[in-house]
Each structure stands twice: as structure tokens, then as C-alpha cells.
Amino acid sequence: MSGATLLKESGPKEVFCGLTSIVWLHRRMPDAFFLVVGSRTCAHLIQSAAGVMIFAEPRFGTAILEERDLAGLADAHDELNRVVKNLLARRPEIKTLFLVGSCPSEVIKIDLSRVAENLNIELKGQVTVLNYSGSGIETTFTQGEDGALKALIPLMPKSDQKKLLLVGTLANAVEDRLISIFNRLGIDKVESFPPRQSTELPSIGPETKVLLTQPYLTDTARELKNKGAEIIDAPFPLGVTGSTLWIQAAANSFGIDKSKVDSILNPLISRAKEALAPHVEKLSGKKLFLLPESQLEIPLARFLSNECGMEIVEIGTPYLNRDLMKAEIDLLPPDCRIVEGQHVEKQLDRVRDSSPDLVVCGMGLANPLEAEGISTKWSIEMVFSPIHGIDQASDLAELFSRPLRRHDILNPTKTLTSN
């Protein structure tokens, strides 16, 4: 690993819970339904995060645990069975039903795996019922996707076919572009997990080479490995360098000639660097502090430091998987400070002491920091924006240059003085 300093901190994490990931997962797999087993708070969170769908039947909902359930006066398992059957009678098009656990369902110990098992026996052939936890107890919002994918893995058929498997949700257009690059390189069989339909799961086996698109899929990666797949070591496809190394790692693993890879990637790299230049001008030399939330913090810091010239004060990350992150940490400047976990008061003190130009953080901390005159960027935006791949590097940089430009407009005197 590089000379980065790795530290740990403990305390409650100021992060969104895993239910948030339903927002992008339900768009990805339109034949699936996500039924949160939770409280009214959970229902509010998921509705406001996903927005209200006016023209379409929603593909997520909440089975609300009432006071009687929480007090143990009703059999929550029976209640849930009833809710699921009503839902499926009304929505026969649902092919996969995810029962998503929450803090309340975990606290009163509803055994969602048992409910799912019984429903699978009763509803065999009609729908597949799975369960995972989206609870906010000690988990972060991106771990919701990790849990959902892990729940799907036992259903993946076996295969001995040589293939590249892209793992982690990407915007469809970005995914199409990346697959077309791999096809041009000569990798014909490229599949994605999660697939675009929950019933079209890719097969897996010893000839499957997994290329992770997202850094927060620790459990998924482990389970895929247990199924015999090989995880390709690579940084993540954020920025020109990260995306180039990511594609090159897959090409190496398939024995593709370097000159062929260069001939396809070089024009993309030149175009992307040109598009990146105006953002580099704005970002270069600016101080960046990343508070822990999405688990994307290390790849983002690597991109913003190495390609955009930002000075990294601190990289906070809720969890640090040293294996998956090794290639990223190796690319960081040697004096970087990475802090795993969170003690929010101490972290905020360090933010104030270092006077950063930009703080990447959760929505809960953004408003107070903005009120103190510190520009912020919500880390949750990174999972809703198409930021992966060489072509997307300038869009990714723009997410960070925009708040600085807005800050300049709102503080014209300060800008003139500091310039």
C-alpha cells in the first residue's frame, strides 16, 4: 500500500440507511418489488428519497409495523404474510419480491428469512421472495445494494463459460458504452449483475471474471468468489486514470494485446482530458475534505487529487475493505490521511480547523456547514449520477467544480480578495 496514513475512529455514523438504495435498485430491475418491513419513518424516508410516482404503480412500498406489532401483541409474521399475499394478488406482474428489513423489524426480531422461505414454498412458480437488511443500525446507504445483490447470488445458475461480469449498478447508458468498449477489445461475453430484469440473472462459475463497478460491494464480492468467480484487481472506473486502469485490468485478464487496448482507449483518453481541463482549472489547488458516507470517498479523492489537482485534507470512509481498496490506496498521494469510521464532533472540528474549500458529506451535515460558509457536495449525488467511465470524467469533475462556482457567485468580494 502507498504511504497513506490509516486511522480509525468510532461513534455513531451520520449516514443514510440502506433503504436508500431501493431508489436505484427498483429502477434497475423493473420486474422486482421492494417491500420495506418498517415504521412510518422508513416509509417517509423511502418516499421522499424516491419521489412520488404519479404515472406509474410504484415498485416499492412499506409494510408498516404498528404499535401492536412493536409491542409484540400481534404476530408480525402472520401480518406480513397477509400483506404480501394482498400485494401479489393486486400486482401479479411482480417476479421478484425483496422483503427489506429495517431498524424496527430488526429490533423486534422479525425473521424475514423464515417469512421468505415459507412464501417461496407457497408461491412456487409465481414469484421469488428474497430478503435482506436495509437497516440503518451500523450500516451505510450503499450497503443496501450489497445486501440485495448478495441475496440474489444463490439464484445464479452455474456456468463454465468464459465471461466478464460487471458487478454493481450503473446507469444503463454508461453500462452500454462500457460493454461496447469491451466488445471492441474482443471480450464478446460481457454480462451485468444486477441484470436489467431480476429474472435474467447471469450464470457464474470458475471461468467468470468479475470486474466491480462500485467499491461498496464487500459481501457480494466475497459470495461471488465463493461461487468460484475470480475478482479482477483494479481501481474503480472513476476518472480517466481509474477507468483506464479498470478496463486495462480486464483486458489483461483476457490476454488482450496492449497495443490493441491503447489504440481503442487513447482517443477516448485525449477527448476526456480535453473536456476535463476547465474543471481542473477551477479545482486545482483547492482543499477538499471528505466525510464518510458512501464508501466512494477513496476513489473520489484519488481522482480529485491526481487528475484535478485538489489538495486532500482528509478522506473519511465508513468502512475500509483493504483488499478491494488496495489498488486505489496505492494511487493516492503518499501523505493522505484516511480515517475509517466516524466521530462526528472530532471530524467537524478538523473540518473547521483546516478551512477546506469543499466538503463532501451527507445531507445532514451539509446544511450546518453551508451555514458556516463552507461549500459542500452531497455524497449521495454520486450514486444517482452517471459518473463511471473515461467519457464521464468531466461530468464527475463538474459535480465538484459547480459548488465552488456557486460559492464564488454568492461571495464575490471574498473571491476577488482571495484571487
C-alpha distances in angstroms, 48 versus 19, 41, 292? 12, 11, 22
Provide the angle, in degrees to the nearest 10, between the axes of the packed helices 393-410 and 297-306.
Answer: 80
Dihedral angle at the C-alpha atoms of 84, 87, 90, 92, nearest 10 degrees? -70
Residue 215 contacts residue 192 (beta carbons within 8 Å): no
* Least distance in angstroms from the C-beta of 374 to ligand SF4: 26
Residue with Cβ nearer ligand SF4 (45 or 360): 45
* Positive or negative: CA dihedral 113, 119, 125, 129: negative
Per the CB < 8 A criterion, the answer to whether 144 and 17 are in contact is yes
The stretch near ligand SF4 (CB under 6 A) out of 134-142, 153-161, 248-256, 409-417 is 134-142
Number of H helices, E strands in the chain: 18, 14
Residue number, 135 or 394, with CB nearest to ligand SF4? 135
Q: Which stretch binds ligand SF4 (CB under 6 A): 68-76, 81-89, 128-136, 179-187?
A: 128-136
- Min CB(286)–ligand SF4 separation in Å: 33
215 binds ligand SF4 (CB under 6 A): no
Tell me the three cell numbers of residue 39. Answer: 415504521
Residue tagged 419480491 (cell numbers):
97
Q: Is 238 in the site for ligand SF4 (CB under 6 A)?
A: no
CA dist 157 to 186, 187, 368, Å? 25, 21, 49
How near is the Cβ of 101 to ligand SF4 at its closest, in Å? 8
Which regions of 5-153 does DSSP assign to beta strands (E)? 5-9, 32-38, 60-64, 96-101, 128-133
Task: Give the x-and-dash track for 8-47 against ligand SF4 (CB under 6 A).
Answer: ---------x-x------------------xx-xx--x--
Interface with ligand SF4 (CB under 6 A), residue from 103, 272, 301, 310: 103
Q: In whole angstroms, how close is the CB of 285 to ligand SF4 at the nearest point?
A: 38
Among 102, 140, 244, 294, binds ligand SF4 (CB under 6 A): 102
When the beta carbons of 21 and 401 are compared against ligand SF4, the nearer one is 21
Output the furthest CA–CA distance in the chain (Å, rounded): 71
Omega into 154 within 30° of 0, i.e. cis? no
Q: Is 135 in the site for ligand SF4 (CB under 6 A)?
A: yes
Stretch near ligand SF4 under the rule CB under 6 A, chosen from 85-93, 130-138, 200-208, 356-364? 130-138
Tell me how far, at minimum, the Cβ of 371 lies from ligand SF4, in Å: 24
Please report, as residue ranges, which positions from 136 to 195 form the binding site for ligand SF4 (by CB under 6 A): 136
248 binds ligand SF4 (CB under 6 A): no
Q: Which is nearer to ligand SF4, 20 or 220 (CB)?
A: 20
Q: Buried (b) or exposed (e) across 116-130, using 16+ Cβ within 10 A?
A: beebeeeeeeebbbb
Minimum separation from the CB atom of position 46 to ligand SF4 (A): 7
Residues that bind ligand SF4 (CB under 6 A): 17, 19, 38-39, 41-42, 45, 102-103, 134-136
